[in-house]
Amino acid sequence: METTFSIQFPTGYNSHVHYIRPTMDHFEYIHRPLLFYIINFIFTHIFDYLFLEHFGQFRKYGIDHNKPGENHHHQHLTYWYRKGRTTSTTTTTTTTPIIFIHGIGTGLHLYMNFIRRMTTLECLLIFCIEIPHVSTRLVEHVPTPKERVMEIQTMLDMHGFDKVIIVGRSLGTVVAGWMATLYAMNRIRIRTCTY
């Protein structure tokens, strides 16, 4: 390695260097107070209403928006959907929707600028999938990879799409990878996958 990279490592033993054993070493953590989750919950709902619903013209679907008596097959999936619109410069909407899957953080509001830029192209069909168990929210159930892919397939079937463009960020790329791996048995035709 020294020859390949032209680096000379000093000889000897350094007592200040320690290796890490993640499965055996003590893990330090700090509990967040309930107030943190309450503030995040309020901020998320304000963002959802003002930015996604009002300005972005998205509509929310999933477990948070089920109406009594409706049968929903996407049991743990919450997502936002924005239909493409025709404008004076475009004659049709794009027929292949974009699915954006966010990463670890506090939710979709971290990607506000990215979503805003996508919405400036009014002909785009956009799905923004929420993953609450990695968005600093308290949830009861974390879906398995197969459950998540089946829920996304059900979402696409419900809206009448069989081809998608997937954009993933951070943990969203893992979900996109699940879709790419399991798409054949679930009939999803992935047109483009961006990590």
Predicted pLDDT of residue 87: 57
Q: What are the DSSP E strand ranges found in 33-184? A: 59-62, 78-82, 98-101, 126-130, 163-168
pTM (2 decimals)?
A: 0.76
Strand order through the sheet with 78-82: 59-62, 78-82, 126-130, 98-101, 163-168, 189-194
SS3 3: helix
Q: What pLDDT does residue 68 have? A: 45
Alpha carbon of 71 to those of 93, 146, 153: distances in Å?
29, 20, 16
Q: Which amino acid is at 132?
A: P
pLDDT digits (tens, 9 = 90+) for 98-130: 999 999 988 898 999 999 999 888 788 999 999
Per-residue pLDDT, averaged over 168-195, amounts to 77
Asked if 130 and 106 touch (Cβ cutoff 8 Å), the reply is: no
* pLDDT tens by residue, 40-83: 899 999 999 999 999 999 999 986 554 444 545 456 789 999 99
93 pLDDT higher than 80: no
Check residue 69 and give its pLDDT. 47
What pLDDT is stored for residue 47 in this prediction?
Answer: 93
More confident residue, 75 or 185: 75
* Better-scored residue on pLDDT, 10 or 145: 145
- Domain architecture of the chain: domains with CATH: 32-194 (3.40.50.1820)
Size of the chain in residues: 195
Q: Give the C-alpha separation, 66 to 81, whole Å.
A: 15
Secondary structure of 159-188 in the HEC alphabet? HCCCEEEEEECCHHHHHHHHHHHHHHHHCC
> The tokens of 129 are what?
């999938």
